[in-house]
Amino acid sequence: MQDTAVPVREELVRRAGELVPLLRERSRWIDEHRRLPDDVLAGMEEAGLLRMRVPRQYGGFESDARTLVDVHAEIARGDGSAAFCLSVWSLINWIVGRFPDEVQDEVFATPGVRVCGSISATGTATPVDGGYLYNGRWRFSTGVLHSHYAFSAAMLDAPGERPQPMTALIPVSDFKIVDDWHVTGLRGTGSVTTSATDVFVPASRVVAQADLFSPQSRSARNAGKAIYEIPLLVTSTAATAGQTIGAAKYAMETFLERLPGRAITYTDYASQRDAPVTHLTVGEAALLTEEAEMRAHAFAALIDEKARAGEPWSERERVYSRAQLGRIAQLAKRAVHLLATASGASSIYEDVPIQRIQRNLDAMAIHALTFPATNIELYGRVLCGLAPNTPYL
């Protein structure tokens, strides 16, 4: 057990902000090499950002939802891939806190431990003496190149038993890495495919996925802590929302930095800054970003208030969480696309950040749990009196 001072939100946001110059300096390297560099990883670890959702008994901070939103937004102001990886590690480290205490003792014994993973059950879990054999392939393994453990889901393969997703914590060293991450956005996340062939996982490190979507916890030490009573996908909303807001802020900053001296080609505007269409674009993008941030802050406040009050989450509130994430991403994406469109033909060069910001945000927004159209349709469906058409709430 460790005893550590827990930094307040403002301190963690300040530390994240101090990493922005390094992230921007390294952003082209991150994009080209399809991974995060060691100095970026070291910077996040030294700033304590990897400990935001680690249990306090292991030196973590158990940071609230608003802190996740604001810290991840700051990192996204530097680089979208770094922010996406950090959000995954924040979420999955929180999930580890719901596993049995002996498993946590093992995982959190590694300083600055990073646990990645996915809830997509694209493998099989076959019961054997003392545990399970895992076989399968898992795509989109964000951050696995820099992680110590991977949280992997597989369908139970046992005669006479109902097939259901079983999630396991598996050392990354037990996987084969398939270097297939050749993509247009979030290149630096290194979200390669992992595969496993007859990998043995002790039963203590395997949990039925249904349990993760319920208030149940396998941890005696963390049982009763409000932070671990929050539904998984509500926590995911808090972990994800900040990235989109930070991307929109980064887009505005880089647009305004390039504005002085830029003409509008084939017009009489010697300076783009003097054109009314520029004023309309900047004003609209700023308002969209502000609306996204206010929405994220309001929902984070709801998460934290319900946690303090010990209030359970209804099905409708869980659906609302999905809708909030979709709407926040939609607003941020509109802001970035407005600014990208107004950035001129020269913005397609790789040394101009706006094209990378746009590619990264588009990749974030198309994630199955973030995609605005799916989430907003789900919300409308429930408002119309129909049952949700997904168990992922």
Tens-digit pLDDT profile for residues 1-41? 444 589 999 999 999 999 999 999 999 999 999 999 999 99
Query: What are the structural domains of the chain?
Result: 9-111 (1.10.540.10), 115-208 (2.40.110.10), 230-383 (1.20.140.10)
pLDDT at residue 5, as a whole number: 83
Number of Cβ within a 10 Å radius of residue 308: 10
Interval 263-308: pLDDT, tens: 889 998 998 999 999 999 999 999 999 999 999 999 999 999 999 9
pLDDT at residue 219, as a whole number: 85
User: pLDDT means per 10 residues in the chain (393 residues)?
Assistant: 75 98 97 97 97 96 97 98 98 93 95 92 95 96 96 92 93 96 96 96 92 78 90 95 98 95 89 93 98 98 95 95 97 97 91 96 95 97 96 89
Short-list 77, 30, 371, CA closest to 251: 77
Please tell me the distance from the alpha carbon of residue 59 to that of residue 5, in angstroms, as a whole number: 9
Please tell me the distance from the alpha carbon of residue 114 to that of residue 148, in angstroms, as a whole number: 6
pLDDT at residue 4, as a whole number: 56
The string of DSSP codes covering 189-231 is G---EEEEEEEEEEGGGEEEHHHHTSS--S-TTTTT-GGGSS-
pLDDT at residue 3, as a whole number: 44
Return all residues near 193 (Cβ < 8 A) that are at least 6 apart: 137, 138, 139, 140, 141, 177, 178, 180, 181
Whole-Å CA distances, 379 to 110, 253, 311: 40, 33, 21
pLDDT at residue 342, as a whole number: 94
The string of DSSP codes covering 126-190 is EEETTEEEEEEEES--TTGGG-SEEEEEEEE--TTS---EEEEEEEGGGSEEE-----SSSGGG-
pLDDT at residue 200, as a whole number: 97
Output the pTM of the full model: 0.95
Number of Cβ within a 10 Å radius of residue 348: 11
Short-list 103, 31, 83, 66, CA closest to 305: 66
